[in-house]
């Protein structure tokens, strides 16, 4: 057994939250650069170059990439030989407390915006800490702990959609609906997008898969040929919409479309689309 | 669309607002106000109740933004636009009371587009997700109302050459190849290039 304290986890998350807000991942920058090179519409090219300039400025001057520093989604992959340990000053903590402490400290020290309200419909009082985060935990082989933190903006999350298809639906029907979802996300959700797609599982698993799909490197296709081809077809169709950066027209409506799949019931074909804006902010750390 | 930018000074001149067209680039200088969801709700309630407003709407510009906190040595944090359509139900009332420009990202619905035309006003699009870059055009920031709303409080910003595109002009023109709020699938190919 290897022991990791909750304090270590909180500190790692505090640091990740600030890095995520200021530093666009390398694969996202590369995708924006390629898009700017290939874009045929001059105003669209201009916007893409300004987004790249924005990412340089954010990193150099520690100004957040976007004022919506997001809801924090944390993926924790715990090696099965790892055991969590309490520190003397927080004997009752569980994993959620460590994540909460890390997010609150990161958002306060990093001068990040606190965008979370305590409940959805009554008072909508801001928690002032940007907590709680959404946490997804899983056990894996080994003695490492991998923490991935994503800051998800509200504008694009608002345009994400779910649909139960008949199990007899074909690929073309599913593709058409996904492209329609992207079209309707439109200018509001800050294109160019990364489109995360969850196929299969059940109601909630397909949604989780659509979010996990966003964590894959943008140039890395699905490992199965059928779904890799479908990703390619989707990206081509999405980019032929002509929506373009900021919805003002152009070739670059999405940087990538990524599909994650899971087995599902004979009666079901759940499909979830998680729309992500160009400010595709996530980083990981392994302890 | 790649013609030189037009200077837009606040308070806005009705003459300039009437001349700018959808797709024009503008550079805004002067004082502007920030407001997003909750501040809009309060402003409109104040108007309905016949109370005085904490800001001057006449010939004014409202920017839909909730900035990140300023670092100790800075004026403001990241300050890019939020989604405009969430303010659709409030905007016509503010235009009726003198507001002449709004700025955010994304589409406006039919009621707003109609009101822009009716009152001779414009909606501007700033680049969503360019909060660091846009913050460089803000030279002063002061909370002037609804401080309890935190990032959603109304701020008076002084801006210099703040870049935006005219999304909807005062003659019913739109820059967007899609206007999804009302007519899904209504794609205008001429505007896409």
For residue A33, the model assigns a pLDDT of 98
Tens of pLDDT, residues B11-40: 999 999 999 999 999 999 999 999 999 999
From chain A, pick out residues whose CB is under 8 angstroms from the CB of B193.
40-41, 242, 249-250
Query: What are the pLDDT tens digits along chain A (287 aa)?
Result: 999 999 999 999 999 999 999 999 999 999 999 999 999 999 999 999 999 999 999 999 999 999 999 999 999 999 999 999 999 999 999 999 999 999 999 999 999 999 999 999 999 999 999 999 999 999 999 999 999 999 999 999 999 999 999 999 999 999 999 999 999 999 999 999 999 999 999 999 999 999 999 999 999 999 999 999 999 999 999 999 999 999 999 999 999 999 999 999 999 999 999 999 999 999 999 99
For residue B2, the model assigns a pLDDT of 57
Of B67, B127, B187, the CB nearest to A67: B67
Q: What is the maximal distance between C-alpha atoms in chain B?
A: 47
Residues in chain B where the model's pLDDT stays below 50: 1, 181, 184-186, 193
Count of other CB atoms within 10 angstroms of residue A33: 13
C-alpha distance from B73 to closest chain A C-alpha (Å): 12
Nearest to A111 among B1, B65, B68 (CB): B68
DSSP B117-170: HHHT-EEEE--TT-HHHHHTTEEEEEEEE-GGGGGGSEEEEEEEEEEEEEEE-T
Task: Report ipTM for this prediction.
Answer: 0.94
Give residue B190's pLDDT: 56
Active centre residues of B (catalytic): 40
Q: Would you call B72 exposed, middle or buried from its count of C-beta atoms within 10 A (0-12, 13-18, 19+)?
A: exposed
Report domain B6-173's class. Answer: alpha beta
Q: What's the confidence (pLDDT) of residue B125? A: 98
Q: Residues 36-95, chain B: which have Cβ within 8 Å of A? A: 65-71, 74, 77-80, 82-85
The pLDDT value recorded for residue B191 is 54
Return the H-helix or E-strand segment holding B30.
strand B25-34
CA distance, residue B69 to nearest chain A CA (Å): 5
Beta strands B138-145 and B122-125, pairing class = unpaired
Q: Do B1 and A47 touch (CB under 8 A)?
A: no
Q: Which of A43, A64, A153 sits opposite B68 (nearest CB)?
A: A64
Report the pLDDT value the prediction gives residue A231, as an integer from 0 to 100: 98
CB spacing of B129 vs A54 below 8 angstroms: yes
- Runs of H (alpha helix) within B7-73: 14-19, 37-48
The answer to whether B2 contacts A68, with C-beta atoms less than 8 Å apart, is no
Q: Residue ranges of the domains in chain B? A: 6-173
- Across the A/B interface, how many CB contacts are shorter than 8 Å? 164
Report the distance separating Cα A146 and Cα B71, nearest Å: 30
């Amino acid at each position: 057994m290897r022991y990791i304290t909750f304090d270590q986890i909180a500190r790692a998350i505090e640091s990740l939250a600030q890095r995520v807000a200021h530093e666009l991942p390398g694969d996202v920058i590369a995708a924006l650069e390629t898009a700017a090179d290939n874009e045929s519409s001059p105003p669209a090219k201009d916007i893409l170059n300004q987004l790249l300039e924005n990412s340089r400025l954010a990193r150099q001057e520690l100004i957040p990439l976007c004022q919506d520093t997001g809801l924090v989604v944390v993926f924790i992959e715990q090696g099965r030989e790892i055991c969590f340990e309490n520190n003397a000053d927080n004997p009752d903590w569980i994993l959620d407390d460590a994540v909460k402490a890390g997010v609150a400290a990161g958002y306060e020290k990093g001068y990040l915006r606190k965008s979370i309200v305590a409940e959805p419909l009554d008072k909508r009082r801001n928690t002032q800490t940007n907590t709680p985060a959404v946490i997804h935990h899983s056990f894996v082989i080994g003695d490492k702990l991998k923490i991935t933190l994503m800051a998800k903006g509200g504008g694009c999350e608002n345009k994400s959609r779910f649909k139960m298809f008949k199990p007899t639906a074909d690929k073309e029907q599913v593709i058409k609906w996904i492209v329609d979802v992207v079209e309707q996300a439109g200018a509001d959700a800050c294109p160019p997008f990364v489109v995360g797609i969850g196929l299969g599982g059940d109601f909630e698993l397909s949604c989780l898969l659509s979010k996990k799909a966003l964590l894959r490197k943008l140039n890395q296709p699905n490992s199965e040929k059928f779904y890799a081809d479908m990703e390619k077809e989707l990206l081509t169709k999405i980019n032929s919409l002509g929506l373009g950066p900021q919805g003002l027209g152009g070739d670059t409506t999405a940087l990538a479309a990524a599909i994650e799949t899971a087995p599902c019931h004979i009666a079901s074909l759940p499909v979830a689309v998680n729309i992500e804006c160009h400010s595709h902010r996530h980083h990981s750390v392994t302890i | 669309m790649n013609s030189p930018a037009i200077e837009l000074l606040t308070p806005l001149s009705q003459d300039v607002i009437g001349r700018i067209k959808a797709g024009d680039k503008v550079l805004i200088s002067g004082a502007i106000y920030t407001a997003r969801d909750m501040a809009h709700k309060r402003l409109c309630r104040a108007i309905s109740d016949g109370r005085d407003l904490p800001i001057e709407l006449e010939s004014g510009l409202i920017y839909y933004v909730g900035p990140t906190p300023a670092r100790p040595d800075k004026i403001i944090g990241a300050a890019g636009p939020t989604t405009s359509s969430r303010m659709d139900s409030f905007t016509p009332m503010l235009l009726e009371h003198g507001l002449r420009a709004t700025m955010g990202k994304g589409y406006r619905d039919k009621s707003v587009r109609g009101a822009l035309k009716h009152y001779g006003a414009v909606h501007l699009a700033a680049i969503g997700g360019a909060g660091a870059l846009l913050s460089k055009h803000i030279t002063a920031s002061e909370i002037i109302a609804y401080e309890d709303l935190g990032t959603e409080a109304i701020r008076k910003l002084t801006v210099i050459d703040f870049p935006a595109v005219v999304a909807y002009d005062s003659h019913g023109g739109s820059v967007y190849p899609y206007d999804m709020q009302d007519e899904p699938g209504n794609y205008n190919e001429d505007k896409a290039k």
